[in-house]
C-alpha cells in the first residue's frame, strides 16, 4: 500500500512552453501533498505544500506564478511549470501524506518516482 505515482516520468520541451506534472496517491487519501525540486547532485528542496481544496503554500524564493499548484482532490495534485526556461530543468518529486491513522506511519510522507524535466 501507500503508492504515489507521477506522470509523466520524463518530459523534454522547448523554452517558453508550459508543462503539467501530475501526482496521484493510488491507494490512500492525502490531504497534503508536497512538491520538491532536486538539481543534479543536490538534495531535495521543498517548493510548496499543497492542501486539498485550498491554495498552496510556497517556500521562500519559489515563484507562485511560475509554479502553479492545484490540489483538486484527495488523490491528485498537479504542478504546472509555466513558460519553462532551461534553468527550470530539474528533477521534480512529489510526496503525499496519508491521513488515515494506523496506515503504517501516520505522518509519513510517501514519495512519487519523480519527473525529470528538460527544457531546451
Q: Which residue of 13, 45, 74, 103 would you call a contact of other proteins, by CB under 8 A?
A: 45
- Using an 8 Å Cβ cutoff, are 57 and 49 in contact? yes
- Closest CB 44 distance from other proteins, rounded Å: 5
Please give the Cα distance from 79 to 54 (Å, whole number).
14
- Using an 8 Å Cβ cutoff, are 99 and 48 in contact? no
| Position 100 contacts other proteins (CB under 8 A) | no
Which three cell numbers, joined as nine digits, stand for 42? 543536490
| Position 58 contacts other proteins (CB under 8 A) | no
Q: Which residue of 73, 85, 100, 113 would you call a contact of other proteins, by CB under 8 A?
A: 113
Amino acid at each position: 500500500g501507500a503508492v504515489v505515482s507521477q506522470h509523466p516520468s520524463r518530459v523534454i520541451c522547448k523554452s517558453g512552453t508550459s508543462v503539467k506534472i501530475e501526482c496521484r496517491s493510488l491507494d490512500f487519501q492525502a490531504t497534503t501533498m508536497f512538491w520538491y525540486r532536486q538539481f543534479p547532485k543536490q538534495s531535495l528542496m521543498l517548493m510548496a505544500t499543497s492542501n486539498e481544496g485550498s491554495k498552496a503554500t510556497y517556500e521562500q524564493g519559489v515563484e507562485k506564478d511560475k509554479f502553479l499548484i492545484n490540489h483538486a482532490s484527495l488523490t491528485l495534485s498537479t504542478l504546472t511549470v509555466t513558460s519553462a526556461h532551461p534553468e527550470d530543468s530539474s528533477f521534480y518529486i512529489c510526496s503525499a501524506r496519508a491521513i488515515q491513522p494506523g496506515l503504517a506511519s501516520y505522518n509519513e510522507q510517501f514519495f512519487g518516482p519523480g519527473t525529470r524535466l528538460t527544457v531546451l
